[in-house]
């Protein structure tokens, strides 16, 4: 080693904890939601290994500008976000996916620990292993957890104040009252003096929003229909993807995108412990994606008990990043 070389202390390899068994039984949950009068599949079932990759592809689509808009906000306002959030704190990344969004903030936030939480255990494991090679000095923890039920951070996570990161407008996938309850749990996870950094897609023209969720290449259609394959695996069902079509539209009244899979013909589907008939045009609701206004987002954070809040938007006011003090 030459005299000008700098030694970076190596953090131990990422610790990985699978906490999924502690949450509700996903097979029972699926059987109940498919048998309901208005059948639905919770969006977390999108994210099997193929679904996680299809979501990455969605983020590359010109019609789906959310990821790029958020990235531009972080590029432009990253330093200010770090000043408000504080540096050298644990960074808890909820729904970490490929960990790319959080990685963008490592330089400015200089976290003391990176905690990636996601339901997709295998994908998270893979991404965290690659990430730790790029950031050998940063201690990392992976938690495979369905944090939509409970947000329990084990002792291995450094104590607060923490920065809890929830990017990508995933908050939009909760119904408003569930979003409120979830934000309250996030606030508790921050600890005194901590904060959340949250991304939210904003209400814009219906045409643009329709296209973002029904792109001409059919990537979002593949993402949506792939959920049926995951259901087949989870409860030994016999959905035939070819019998279903992708439906997605923005409803300006509820300010949400609705995604459904719609039966192309009459079908009978069986699964372990049950089954049901669907008539042609019957739908299974797979996702809502609520769009926010800036006042609406501020009000939601206040109702969840947060204090000082800062908001940044992209140049087209299509996406917002909020930082709210716990």
Applying CB under 6 A, which residues contact ligand AVI?
A: 58, 168-170, 172-173, 213, 220, 287, 289
The Cα angle at residue 182 between residues 311 and 185, in degrees rounded to 5 = 95
Of all residues in this chain, which one has the CB nearest to ligand AVI in the complex? 289
Cα separations (Å) of 200 from 169, 260, 298?
Answer: 4, 22, 11
User: 29 or 287, CB closer to ligand AVI?
Assistant: 287
Distance CA(96)–CA(112), nearest Å, equals 17
Q: Which of 290, 137, 280 is nearest to 202 (CA)?
A: 290
CB of 286 to ligand AVI, least distance (A): 9
Q: Which is nearer to ligand AVI, 163 or 220 (CB)?
A: 220
Beta carbon nearer to ligand AVI, 47 or 271:
47
- For 275, residues 6+ apart whose C-beta sits below 8 A from its C-beta are 268, 269
Q: How far is the CB of 220 from ligand AVI (least distance, A)?
A: 5
Residue 326 C-beta: closest distance to ligand AVI, Å: 23
Residue with smaller CB distance to ligand AVI, 163 or 289: 289
Tokens of 249: 């539209």
Q: List the one residue out of 208, 200, 279, 280 whose CA is nearest residue 249.
A: 208
Q: Of 39 and 172, which has the nearer Cβ to ligand AVI?
A: 172
Of 17 and 57, CB closest to ligand AVI: 57
Min CB(207)–ligand AVI separation in Å: 16
Identify which of 200, 213, 190, 202 has the alpha carbon closest to the alpha carbon of residue 43: 213
Instruction: Give me the long-range contacts of 127-130 (CB less than 8 A, separation at least 24).
Output: 127/96, 127/97, 127/98, 127/99, 128/14, 128/16, 128/96, 128/99, 129/14
Q: Report in angstroms how near the CB of residue 157 gets to ligand AVI at its nearest.
A: 23
Q: Which is nearer to ligand AVI, 213 or 278 (CB)?
A: 213
Following DSSP, what letter does each residue of 25-44 receive, concatenated? -HHHHHHHHHHSSS-B--GG
CB 158, min distance to ligand AVI, A: 27
Question: Which residue lies nearer to ligand AVI by CB, 157 or 203?
Answer: 203
Report in angstroms how near the CB of residue 211 gets to ligand AVI at its nearest.
Answer: 11
CA 29, 34, 37, 43 torsion: positive or negative? positive
Shortest distance, position 287 Cβ to ligand AVI, whole Å? 6
**Residues paired with 319 in a beta bridge:** 201
Q: Which residues pair with 271 in a beta bridge?
A: 274
CB nearer to ligand AVI: give 43 or 90.
Answer: 43
Helix residue ranges per DSSP H, the chain: 26-35, 49-60, 66-85, 100-109, 121-134, 176-190, 206-213, 219-235, 294-303
In this structure, what are the phi and psi dihedrals at residue 284, rounded to the nearest 5 degrees?
Answer: -115, 120
Rounded to the nearest whole angstrom, what is the least distance from the CB of residue 131 to ligand AVI in the complex? 19
């Amino acid at each position: 080693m030459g005299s000008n070389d700098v030694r970076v202390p190596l953090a131990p390899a990422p610790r990985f904890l699978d906490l999924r068994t502690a949450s509700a039984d996903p097979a029972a949950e699926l059987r109940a939601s498919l048998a309901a009068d208005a059948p639905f599949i919770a969006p977390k079932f999108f994210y099997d290994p193929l679904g996680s990759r299809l979501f990455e592809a969605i983020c590359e689509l010109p019609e789906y500008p959310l990821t790029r808009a958020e990235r531009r906000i972080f590029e432009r306002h990253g330093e200010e976000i770090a000043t408000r959030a504080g540096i050298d704190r644990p960074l808890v990344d909820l729904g970490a996916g490929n960990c790319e969004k959080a990685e963008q903030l490592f330089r400015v936030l200089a976290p003391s620990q990176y905690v990636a939480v996601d339901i997709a255990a295998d994908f998270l494991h893979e991404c965290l292993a690659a990430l730790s090679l790029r950031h050998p000095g940063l201690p990392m923890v992976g938690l495979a957890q369905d944090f939509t039920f409970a947000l329990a951070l084990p002792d291995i996570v450094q104590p607060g104040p923490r920065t809890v990161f929830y990017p990508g407008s995933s908050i939009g996938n909760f119904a408003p009252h569930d979003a409120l309850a979830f934000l309250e749990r996030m606030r508790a996870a921050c600890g005194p003096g901590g904060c959340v950094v949250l991304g939210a897609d904003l209400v814009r023209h219906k045409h643009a929003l329709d296209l973002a969720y029904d792109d001409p290449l059919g990537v979002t259609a593949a993402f949506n229909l792939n959920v049926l394959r995951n259901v087949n695996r989870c409860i030994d069902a016999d959905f035939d993807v070819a019998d279903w079509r992708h439906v997605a539209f923005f409803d300006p009244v509820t300010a949400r995108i609705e995604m459904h899979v719609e039966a192309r013909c009459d079908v009978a589907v069986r699964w372990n412990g049950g089954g049901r008939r669907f008539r042609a045009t019957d739908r299974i609701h797979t996702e809502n994606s609520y769009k926010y206004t800036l006042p609406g987002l501020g009000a939601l954070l206040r109702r969840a008990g947060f204090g000082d809040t800062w908001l940044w938007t992209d140049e087209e006011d299509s996406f917002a990043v909020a930082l709210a003090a716990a």
